[in-house]
Every structure is written in structure tokens, then in C-alpha cells.
Amino acid sequence: MRLDIGWLDLATAFACCVLPRRRTIAVRQARQSWNSQDDFLVTLSVRSAFDLLLRALQLPHGSEVLLSALTVPDMVRIVQMHGLVPVPVDTDQTGQIDASSLRRAISSQTRMVVVAHLFGGWMCLDEVLEIAHDHELLVVEDCAQSFRRVGDSAHSASDVAMFSFGPIKTASALGGAVARVRAPELRERMSELLQSDPIQSRTSFLLRLARFAALKLLSGNRTAALTRYCVTRLGGDFDALVNSVVRGFPTSGLLVHLRRQPSSPLLGLLERRWRSYEFGRIENRIRLGKFLDSRIGQEHTATHSYWVYPVFVHDPIAICERFQAAGFDATRQARMTVVPAVDDPRTPASAAAVWKHVVFLPWYPDMPHGAVDEMAGLIRPSDLRTGRCETAAEETRN
Ligand SMILES: Cc1ncc(COP(=O)(O)O)c(C=O)c1O
């Protein structure tokens, strides 16, 4: 993993932490650099925006919130912390939900469906929106993994769309998010609640900058290999260590951490990233992704931006070992989870089976073409699983 942020961005952000700046100006300039609409809020994170949405909606206790079966654990926790019930909607190998899984997951208690566009892909939402409309469900798009252009509104018919600029995201600002909210009354209620929240302190953002600057230093080719070697020799788990460092907020007291407005330096960094991000980086990532697809016989949709490159293999441990022996940092660990089932008929069998077989390849926009070619040479056609058919076969076997 490489942080998608430059040293100059970090240095400017450090300077913003110590130089005074009126907050109203920081808010206005950040908003203007996203887009000229007035239909969005800038929040501390996607999780903060999601919590804000649930605070504003005040759904009846015990209401069910459908979530794509693969998501980050905090999204599930936030639903539970509001006295609501998270229900998984099964996903396939590409992270997409299909109409039949969605229909199966809906009950008389369902009020909302949160669709995650995973791995850099974009789901076609037309059918989901139709079903949601029939059942009067709110549709929320979680675009945390799929940012592709500044000012994006995602699907015009969804109720809410959320974009993340957290540490490991495209055009990272080490935090911050945008939530586009279609209904003016809901947006107004969310905005009032947000303005009553405390503001993230400059010191806490400064410490965050320092933590990620250190991580950036350690994630260079040689330094990462050396750190992995040292951590492993000392009996530690390098992947677990990295995941704990990049995790945004501590699990204990999660809501207190989420319920803060972004600080002026964070708003300044968001503005800078949106104004000057080099979108050629995404194009480069797509070119590499398509090249790897062609080399190992994979396929992704035309709008995929290859934020990460997961492969689904029969023996993920063996593949990780093979990659590591060849000097590539492939990992099975991700910050995602399979949303637990609430009852038998709504078990996300496909997502659970898929997730056991995932390996994330090392992946970043300026990865040398030759390295991608070399990685392709390490994957044999017989290593790869082929998706739903195999999942169905596994289910039958079990
Ligand atoms: C699918 C998904 N949803 C939500 C989030 C949370 O985003 P944030 O860190 O901005 O809260 C992430 C972060 O990785 C994510 O991948």
C-alpha cells in the first residue's frame, strides 16, 4: 500500500496547522473546489457522514438497514450503535449485489439500503433503485473506494452518495469526506447537527499528519521490505501492524471520534487535493489494471478504476507465499469484513465464500509496468476461482 499523497501536500498541510486561517473561509473554499452545487456536506469521514445521516433520520428502533455484504466493520457498528439491525445483501466476486439477493434481504422492517461500490468498480444501480422505490427504501451509495472525479454526484436518483478522502484512498487528504444529499430537508437537518458538533483540533490533525508522514517514509520499496523483515523477525505481524496504523479512529468511543467537524487545515488539504490532483494517476492505474486483466484472463467493467486489485484464488496462503518469495507484498488482510447474517435465509453465502479466497496484490498508480508483468507471471490460470459457479459448488459441498 502506498499513500496517494505527495510530500508537498503534507508539507503544506503541516504549515496550515500552524498558520491562522478563518474557518468560514476554509469551509467556503473547500466547498467551491468540490463543485458549485449546494447539495453536499463536507464531513470528517464517510463514517461520520453515515452516522450523521442516521442521527438525522431517527429511524424507529429495530429498523433494518441493508448493507452490501462486504464493507468496513465500522459501517456495521454504526448501524448497531443507532439501535438498528444491519442486514447483509449478498455480493459476488466483483463486490456487486444482484436483484435477487436484494429482494431476499428485504423485510417489513427494512428502511434503507447502503450499496458499496467496491474495489474501484461502479455498480449499475438501476434495478436496485427500482426495487428500493417499490419498498420505499432510502438508497445510500458508499463511494469510499471509487472516487474518480472531483464534484462527482454518483447516481442522480440515489438519496445519498458518500466519497472518502481517508488515508488509503485515491487523492487522499488523510481524512475528510463528501456526502451529497438529495432531499433539501434531510440535508438541512444533517447540516444543523454537523454544525453543533465539536471541531477537530489542529493538534489532532497535526499528529495525524506526523503519523502518516512516518508511514509514507516506511512504505518505500526498500524501507517497506526492511520493516517487514524486522517486524517479522521480532515475531510481529506486519500486515496487522500496517492495518492498525492506517485505521482512522479507535474502536472504543467510535462515535465521539466520528462526531467532529473537519478542522481548517484538513479543509485546506481537501481543497488543495481537489484543485490540483493529477488525474493521470487514475488513468495510469486503469492502464495497469487492463494490462493485468489481459495477462491473467480477468475482466472488469468499463468504468472500473482499479483502486485495488484483488484476485480470488483457491489457495490464498500459497499465493501470498509465492508472491512474497518473489519480493511482492501480496496480502490477505484488508480492513473489510463480511456483514454477519441475522438469520439463515439471509446468509451472505457468496460473499463469505469469496472473502476466504481473496488476495490483494501490491497496487499503486506508479507501479512499473515490468513489475505488473512479473506479478502476472506468478499467477497460473488454475490458481484462479471463477466466481458464482464455484461458490454454488462450495455451498453444495458444505
Ligand atoms: C466501503 C467503505 N465504506 C466506508 C469506508 C469508511 O470511509 P472513511 O474512512 O472516510 O470513514 C471505507 C474506508 O475504507 C470503505 O472502504
Question: Each residue of 372-385: pLDDT tens digit?
Answer: 999 999 999 999 98
* Nearest CA owner, ligand 1 atom 15: 144
Q: Is residue 66 part of a domain?
A: yes
Domain boundary among 150, 167, 195: 195
Question: Which of 1, 45, 47, 89 is the pocket-test mutation for ligand 1 (most atoms within 8 Å of CB)?
Answer: 47
Residues 179 and 304 in one domain: no
Please report whether residue 313 resides in a domain. Answer: yes
Residue 189, domain CATH: 3.40.640.10
Cβ of 49 below 6 Å from ligand 1: no
Q: How distant, in Å, are the alpha carbons of 243, 301, 318, 347 from that of 321?
A: 19, 29, 5, 31
Query: What's the pLDDT score for residue 392?
Result: 47
Same domain, yes or no: 157 and 296: no
In the 8-state DSSP scheme, what is residue 378? T
159 close to 182: Cβ distance less than 8 angstroms:
yes
Distance, CA of 96 to CA of 116 (rounded, Å): 8
User: What pLDDT sits at residue 250?
Assistant: 67
User: What pLDDT, on the 0 to 100 scale, is given for residue 393?
Assistant: 47
Same domain, 287 and 191: no
Neighbours of 337 (CB within 10 A): 16
Domain presence at residue 261: no
Residues 41 and 181 grouped into a single domain: yes
Look at residues 172, 195, 218 and tell me which one is the last residue of a structural domain: 195
How far apart CA 342 and CA 12 sit, in angstroms, is: 47
User: 89 in ligand 1 pocket by Cβ < 6 Å?
Assistant: no
User: In one letter, which amino acid is 70?
Assistant: L
- Residues 43, 190: one domain? yes
Q: Residue 223 has what pLDDT?
A: 74
The answer to whether residues 185 and 308 belong to one domain is no
* Same domain? 47 vs 174: yes
Query: Which of 46, 53, 165, 259, when mutated, tests ligand 1's pocket best, judged by the most ligand atoms within 8 Å of its CB?
Result: 46
Helix (H, G, I), strand (E, B) or coil at 227: helix
CA angle 297, 118, 4 (to 5 degrees): 95
Q: Examine residue 246 and state whether it is found in any structural domain, yes or no.
A: no
Dist. CA 382 → ligand 1 center (Å):
33
For residue 70, the enclosing domain spans: 7-195
pLDDT for the residue numbered 228: 75
Ligand 1 atom showing the smallest separation from residue 68 Cα: 1
Do both 143 and 32 map to the same domain? yes
Q: Point out the ligand 1 atom lying closest to the alpha carbon of residue 142.
A: 3
Collect all residues with Cβ–Cβ distance below 8 Å to 130 and sequence separation of at least 6. none
Nearest CA to ligand 1 atom 1: 71
Ligand 1 pocket, residue 177 CB under 6 Å: yes
CATH code of the domain in which 302 resides: 3.90.1150.10
Regarding whether 132 and 12 lie in a shared domain, the answer is yes
* Residue 170 Cβ contacting ligand 1 at under 6 Å: no
Residue 233: inside a domain, yes or no?
Answer: no
Q: Is residue 123 part of a domain?
A: yes
The SS3 of residue 140 is: strand
Please tell me the residue having the least CA distance from ligand 1 atom 13.
144
* Residues 236, 237, 238, 244, CA torsion sign: negative
Q: What is the mean pLDDT of each run of 10 residues along the chain (398 residues)?
A: 91 94 94 96 98 98 97 96 97 88 96 97 95 98 96 96 97 98 98 98 95 86 75 79 67 90 97 96 96 95 95 95 93 88 92 93 94 96 73 46
Model pTM score: 0.92
The number of folded domains in the chain is: 2
